[in-house]
Chains A and B, each alone.
Chain A
Amino acid sequence: GAGVSQSPSNKVTEKGKDVELRCDPISGHTALYWYRQSLGQGLEFLIYFQGNSAPDKSGLPSDRFSAERTGGSVSTLTIQRTQQEDSAVYLCASSQEETQYFGPGTRLLVL
C-alpha cells in the first residue's frame, strides 16, 4: 500500500516568512511523529500525535513551531517567522504499533 508522503519535497524561503509542511500518514496509523534532521546529524523529536490524545509537544524548539493533525490523519507542521537555523530536513513518520514508517522528508532552506 501507499507509504507516508510529505509535501513539498523541497522548500526555499526567506527569513521571516511562514512555512507549512504537510504529512500524509499511512492509512489507519493512529500515531504520527515529526522529526527534524540537520545536515549530518541524528533525528531530533519535535511532536507526537496519538489518536485523540493531547499531542506530546515537548520537542518543539520554540513557540514559532506548531503542528496540527486534522481528523486523525493529515498533519501540518507550521514554522512562523522562519530563521536560518530552521534549515533542515523535516521528517514525518507514522505507526500503528511500535514500528515507525518514515516519509521522504521536506528539505527546508531559509535564506
Chain B
Amino acid sequence: GIQVEQSPPDLILQEGANSTLRCNFSDSVNNLQWFHQNPWGQLINLFYIPSGTKQNGRLSATTVATERYSLLYISSSQTTDSGVYFCAVVTNAGNNRKLIWGLGTSLAVNP
C-alpha cells in the first residue's frame, strides 16, 4: 500500500521562527490533507490540498502531486502552534476515501 513519510519527526522552535514540514507519499493521490493535533488531542483540519498552494493566515501549504510531496509552512510561530502535524492521503486506486496517515511531526514552540 501507499507509504506516507513525514519529516522531521520532531521540531523545536523559538517563538517567531519559521518552519517547513514535509510529507512524501509513494503513490499518486487524489486527496491530501494536513491536520494539527493540539496537546489535548483534538484534531483540526488545516488544509485539503491535493495539488497547488493554499494559505490561511500564518500557515500555507503546497502540494506537488507529480513529485509526490507536500510542504506545510508555518511562519512567525507561536506557542499555540505546538502539537503534532499530520499529513494524510487518499490514493487514486479504487473508489475509496480512506485516509492513510503519516506518523506526524511533533512541534514544540518555546516562548
Chain A positions within 8 Å of B, measured between CB atoms, are: 31, 33, 41-45, 48, 50, 56, 58-59, 89, 91, 93, 95, 98-102, 104-105
List A contacts of B41 (CB < 8 A). 89, 104-105
B33/A48 in contact, CB under 8 A? no
B2: CB under 8 A from chain A?
no
Complex Cα distance, B103 from A44, in Å, reads: 10
Map CB proximity to A onto B16-58 as digits: 1 under 8 Å, 0 otherwise: 0000000000000001010100000111110010000000000
**Chain B interface mostly:** strand
Nearest CB on B from A30, distance (A): 11
B99: CB under 8 A from chain A?
yes
B97/A43 in contact, CB under 8 A? no
With A43-B86, A98-B31, A101-B45 given, is the CB distance from A31 to B97 under 8 Å?
yes
Complex Cα distance, B44 from A48, in Å, reads: 19
Nearest CB on A from B89, distance (A): 11
Chain B positions within 8 Å of A, measured between CB atoms, are: 31, 33, 35, 41-45, 48, 86, 88, 96-104
With A56-B96, A89-B41, A105-B41 given, is the CB distance from A42 to B48 under 8 Å?
no
Nearest CB on B from A37, distance (A): 8
With A98-B48, A104-B41 given, is the CB distance from A43 to B98 under 8 Å?
no
Nearest CB on B from A81, distance (A): 26
The 7 closest A-B pairs by CB, nearest first: A102-B43, A42-B101, A43-B101, A42-B103, A99-B48, A98-B48, A99-B45
List A contacts of B42 (CB < 8 A). 102, 104
Complex Cα distance, B44 from A59, in Å, reads: 22
**Chain A minimum-CB-distance residue to B4:** A42
